[in-house]
Amino acid sequence: MAVGVLLLSSAACQSLTPAQKAQKQLAIARTDAKSGKVSESIIAYRQAIQNDPKLAVAHYELGKLYEEHQEFINAFRQLSQAVDLDGSNTDARFRLANLLLAARKYDDAKQQANAILAQKKDDPGALLVLAATQRGSGDDVSARATVDRLLKLDPTNGGGWFLRASLQFQGKQLAEIEYSLRQSVKYAPQAVPAFTALASLLVQQNRPAEAETVIRGAVASNPQSLPAQYLLGNFLWQQKRLPEAEAVFQKIKSMGEASPQNRGALAHFYASTNRANLAEKEYLEIIQKYPDDLVNKRALATLYLVSGRQSDAENMVKSILKSHPNDGTTLVLNGQLEAAQGHLEQAATDLQHATQAEPRSALAHYYLATVQLRLGQASQAEGELRTTLELNPKMIPARTLLSGLEMRSGNLQRSLSDVDQVVASQPKSLGPYVMRSILQTEQGNADQAEKDLMPLLNTFNQPEAQADTYRTLAWIKFHQGKYPETRKFLQKSSELQPQNTDTVYLLALTYLAEKKPDVALAQLQSTLHKYPKWAEGYQISGEVMLQAGRQAQAQSFLHQALAINPQLLPAWLSLGTSFALQNNFDGALDAYNHALQLQPKSSLVYLRLGQVHEKRSDWTQAEGSYEKALQFDPGNVVAKNNLAWDYAEHGGNIDVALRLAQEARQASPDNSGVADTLGWIYVKKDTLGNAIQLLQECVDKNPRNPTFNYHLGVAYYRAGRKSQAKQFLETAVKLEPNVTEAGDARKLLSSLN
């Protein structure tokens, strides 16, 4: 009998039309949704749509369900279908418009709002969406008019009051903004963002008690709202009421335990208030309960890293990467860890892996840039910083570093523009002000730079900050040639921060500028007598003696620096330079090879090696070193220029030489040495018009350079312009009569005569 019933039931089901099956599944979906069976409900809705793809109400209700559970992509798809199938469904249009608004697709959202208004002339929701799209598109005039229309029709529309407040912010109408926000929270107490904006406005006006009343009102109106709890917790934290804040974050942890971010809120609070032990305990409890919680595992690894517990950080990072080898955030952490341990090449590899795993991670590109800078790969670092700022234009550390690179490359105007943005974003940070003053001085506006800096001594009154400000003021005076005033500022800086290499260096330079190298030496020796184990002090003293042309004393200081710290890379580089200046090429190569052991992928070290090999006329070794320099820093202009020259002069591929020289010229258009290389290659390729133009530019800028005159003379000679050739060849011989080029010039002059 039971078998017969089943067969009859199956036959009855099979007799239903697809539309009837769809209605049956729709009823099941609604029942499951009402019972909280979300997954079952979604399946039933999908079965209904499969049976009747044009069932608009199924698309609409499924879209609503997705929206409620924050699956916005699926919600968008279903609501779009619902609107296409049934244009009269204004709620579907309204929900779709809000999704488009959140995605900043203002034109599409406006289209939906206007479609609703065509059916319901003064629909408040549609007017609010329309005003928001106008605001998003930058049409504030129309947005204000639409908001006024909305509030005239519905004075209790909290969303309208909030949008009016946001429009008033541009005019800084504080009283009007406050009124609008108070109206918003009055009529829409469920909207936490309005409470947040009002509280923030009150705090900025130094009205913390009123702000607290507003925040507690938000919590009372929304007792189950995590954003409201965060608002209260962060306020109490900012007010340094830590026990009260702790209780709120404990509540957030309990209320939001299903989410990794929320369950880790208390641990994050402990970590940010320098209670690492409590933070560690919290994180470990979370990880024990939720072994797959990547967010809090990463947070614990970060805590270990910033606390100097590198071994614990390494263990945690390795455990994550073992199961998630391409997790970009953890790869960034691993790169930071390697960099902190001085393993720069491995750090660069890990961070490059991170940028490949998560190409849109601004942090991955930023930290890769910082490592590349430490490796001397400036052009690659600049590229990574520009990518960082494309992904996150508000990332101030990246903009600060980029401004510094631009300043070093001579692009002062662009650097000043970047640093102005940093100052505007970080008015309570000294560094950007200092950099701006340096740029102003470089551009000939030293008086304004000094005027801007002096008040900062009171604004940033911590000893280290004041020392930095005095040192920058000293640099400005040095730039103006006012050496006694420079020393006065340096004395104040030194009193606040005794062991600073920049102070020592600049002080010695004032005496060198006055042609008093013995006084500079005595000053350095006096400082080092106070700090006999200061390796960096000996290294900077060696740098000063190099500038003074006193190689023996420079080498003595540098050897002492390396005896204290054999890992001090700048000392090895300076020692190599000192030997090279004395034509002690073996000594120079030995020093640079020591540097290479410390940084095997340093473009700068390979560049220096190439220059020494070139002086020894070892062209093969020189070319190999320059090629290595470009391998690790493809934008190294000096390496490109030198390699192009060597290829052109010593049997290399002349077309490759031309390409390298053209790239160098493009990167450094004001460099006469680069222009001369490119011009000489044009001579060799018999492209004489281009050659003469470039080489004439070199001579115009440097009329007493014999090489430039010789090259221009040859270009004119090849072009058959004998009188100009004779003029520049004769000048080359007069300027430097005893070099090989002078002999070549005499031969050409003889043929002309």
255, 230 Cβ separation under 8 angstroms: no
510 with 480: CB under 8 angstroms?
no
Q: Which of 227, 245, 263 is the last residue of a domain?
A: 245
Q: Of 310, 200, 206, 295, which is closest to residue 256 (Cα–Cα)?
A: 295
In a domain, 509, yes or no: no
For residue 180 the two structure tokens come to 């609008």
Which 3 state secondary structure label does DSSP give 443? coil
Of 168-182, 266-280, 281-295, 512-526, minimum mean pLDDT range: 168-182
Cα–chain-centroid distance for residue 165? 32
User: Count of domains in the chain?
Assistant: 3
Q: How far apart are CA 524 and CA 707, in angstroms?
A: 39
Neighbour-count burial of 531, counting CB atoms closer than 10 A to its CB (0-12 exposed, 13-18 middle, 19+ buried): middle
List pLDDT tens digits, range 475-528: 888 888 899 999 999 999 999 988 889 899 999 999 999 999 999 999 999 999
The predicted-structure confidence for 535-545, as pLDDT tens digits, reads as follows 999 999 999 99
Proportion of the chain in helix, strand, coil states, percent, rounded to 5:
80, 0, 20
Q: Are 589 and 570 in contact (CB under 8 A)?
A: no
**Whether 710 contacts 744, CB under 8 Å:** yes
Q: What is the pLDDT of residue 396?
A: 64
Domain end marker among 230, 245, 260: 245
What phi-psi label fits residue 384: left (phi over 0), alpha (psi between -120 and 50 degrees) or beta? alpha
Q: Which amino acid is at 219?
A: V
Contact 347, 335 (CB under 8 A): yes
> For 568-577, what is the mean pLDDT?
94
Report the 10 Å Cβ neighbour count for 120: 12
131: how many CB neighbours lie within 10 A of its CB?
27
Query: Is 317:333 a contact under the CB 8 Å cutoff?
Result: yes
Judge whether residue 706 has pLDDT over 60. yes
Asked whether residue 18 carries a pLDDT value surpassing 50, the answer given is yes
| Residue span of the structural domain in which 353 resides | 326-393
Q: Is the residue at 456 inside a domain?
A: no
| Whole-number Å distance between alpha carbons of 552 and 563 | 16
Give per-residue pLDDT as tens, 111-147. Answer: 999 999 999 988 999 999 999 999 998 899 999 999 9
Instruction: Tell whether the model's pLDDT for residue 447 goes beyond 60.
Output: yes
Q: Is position 66 within any domain?
A: no
Selection from 541, 546, 581 nearest residue 561 by Cα: 541
How far is it, in rounded angstroms, from Cα 725 to Cα 747? 12
What pLDDT digit, counting tens, does each position of 54-72 carry?
Answer: 999 999 999 999 998 888 9
From CA 138, how far away is CA 316, in angstroms rounded? 47
pLDDT in the model for residue 98: 92
Q: Is residue 210, in this structure, part of any structural domain at all?
A: yes
CA 583 to CA 616: how far, in whole Å?
9
Rounded Cα gap, residues 696 and 624, in angstroms: 32
Does residue 746 fall inside a structural domain?
Answer: yes
The share of the chain scoring above pLDDT 90, in percent, equals 63
Neighbours of 504 (CB within 10 A): 25
Last residue of a domain, one of 359, 393, 427: 393
Of 368, 316, 322, nearest in space to 345 by CA: 368
Residue 94: pLDDT band (50, 70, 90) is very high
> What residue has token string 């709202």?
225
Confidence of residue 736 (pLDDT cuts 50, 70, 90): confident
Per-residue pLDDT at 12: 46
Residue 534 lies in a domain: no
Query: Which residues make Cβ contacts (< 8 Å) with residue 368, sequence separation at least 6?
Result: 335, 348, 351, 352, 354, 355, 384
Q: Is residue 685 part of a domain?
A: yes
pLDDT over 60 (residue 4): no
Quick one: how far is CA 221 from the chain centroid?
40
Measured CA to CA, the distance from residue 308 to residue 114 in angstroms comes to 58
CB–CB of 355/364 below 8 Å? yes
Q: What is the pLDDT of residues 322-342, one digit of tens each?
A: 999 988 889 999 998 888 777
Token pair of 498 as six digits: 């005794």
Place 288 in a pLDDT band, splitting at 50, 70 and 90: very high
Question: Would you state the pLDDT for residue 11?
Answer: 44
pLDDT at 678 over 70: yes
Find the range with the poorest average confidence among 72-81, 140-149, 162-171, 262-271: 162-171
**Is the Cβ–Cβ distance between 435 and 399 less than 8 Å?**
no
**60 within 8 A of 95, measured Cβ to Cβ:** no
Backbone angles phi, psi at 81, to 5 degrees: -65, -40
Asked whether the beta carbons of 415 and 438 are under 8 A apart, the reply is no
Say which residue, 441 or 202, is predicted with more confidence: 202
CA atoms within 13 A on the CB side of 457: 15
pLDDT of res. 414: 64
Q: Give pLDDT, residue 382.
A: 85
Banded pLDDT at 395 (limits 50, 70, 90) = confident
201 contacts 181 by C-beta, under 8 angstroms:
yes
Q: What Cα–Cα distance (Å) separates residue 266 from each residue in 224, 228, 250, 298?
A: 18, 16, 6, 15
Neighbours of 646 (CB within 10 A): 21
**Residue 86 neighbours by CB distance under 10 Å:** 16
The alpha carbon of residue 140 and the mean position of all alpha carbons in its chain are separated, in whole angstroms, by 31
The pLDDT of residue 346 is: 87
Angle at 445 between CA 442 and CA 451, to 5 degrees: 120
Query: What are the b/e assignments for 225-238, b being 16+ CB within 10 Å?
Result: bbebbbbbbbbbbe
Domain at 354, CATH number: 1.25.40.10
Give Cα separations from 532 to 15, 490, 546, 679 (angstroms). Answer: 99, 21, 20, 51
String of b and e for 334-368 (b: at least 16 CB within 10 Å)? bbbbbbeeeebebbbbbbbbbbebbeebbbbbbbb
DSSP 460: S
Residue 84 confidence (pLDDT):
94
Q: What is the mean pLDDT of the chain?
A: 89
As a whole number of Å, the CA-based R_g of the chain is: 35
Nearest to 371 by CA among 401, 393, 327: 401
DSSP-derived letter for residue 657 is: H
- Summarised one tens digit per residue, pLDDT across range 412-436 is 566 556 656 655 665 666 667 666 7
pLDDT band at 684 (very low <50, low <70, confident <90, very high): very high
Q: Where are the alpha helices (DSSP H) in 307-343?
A: 310-323, 328-340
- Is 32 a member of any domain? no
Dist. CA 524–CA 510, nearest whole Å: 12
Nearest partner of 168 among 137, 124, 199, 135, judged by Cα: 135
Distance CA 673, CA 665 (A): 9
Residue 8 has pLDDT above 50, yes or no: no
Report residue 359: phi and psi, to 5°: -60, -25
- Higher-pLDDT residue of 245 and 403 is 245
**Can you tell me the distance from the alpha carbon of 422 to that of 663, in angstroms, rounded to the nearest whole number?**
31
CA 246/CA 74 separation, integer angstroms: 38
Q: DSSP per residue over 271-301, as a string? A: HHTT-HHHHHHHHHHHHHH-TT-HHHHHHHH
The more confidently predicted of residues 13 and 732 is 732
